[in-house]
Amino acid sequence: MKKFNMSALRHLIIISLLSSVNLFTAQSASATALDIGTSSGSGCCQNLTRGYWFTAPVDFTITGLSLPGGPVTDSTIEVLKFNITPPQFSSTTNDFTSMGYWEDVASVTTSLAFSAGDIVGILGWADGFTTYRDTNGDYDTSLGGQAITLARLGFQDLGQAHDVWTETGTIGMINMEYTTTVVEPAPLALLGLGLLGLGLARKRRG
pLDDT digits (tens, 9 = 90+) for 122-150: 999 999 999 999 999 999 999 999 999 99
Pick from 137, 148, 155: which is nearest to 176 by CA?
148
pLDDT for 6-58, tens place per residue?
565 566 555 554 454 444 444 556 999 999 999 998 899 999 999 999 999 99
More confident residue, 76 or 186: 76
CB atoms within 10 A of CB 34: 21
Most confident residue range from 63-72, 81-90, 188-197 = 81-90
What pLDDT score does 24 carry? Answer: 44
Residues 6+ apart with CB under 8 A from 147: 57, 140, 141
Q: What is the pLDDT, as a whole number, of residue 108?
A: 98
The domain spans of the chain are 6-24+185-205, 32-181
Say which CATH class 32-181 falls into: mainly beta
pLDDT per residue over 155-187, tens digit each?
999 999 999 999 999 999 999 999 998 655 544
Nearest to 122 by CA among 81, 71, 84, 92: 81
| DSSP H or E segment with residue 141 | strand 139-143
Higher pLDDT, 13 or 65: 65
In the predicted model, is pLDDT for residue 195 greater than 80? no
What value does the mean pLDDT take over residues 66-88? 97
- Looking at this protein, which amino acid is placed at residue 160? Q
Report the range of poorest mean pLDDT among 48-52, 113-117, 160-164, 192-196: 192-196
pTM recorded for the entire structure: 0.78
Percent of the chain predicted with pLDDT > 70: 74
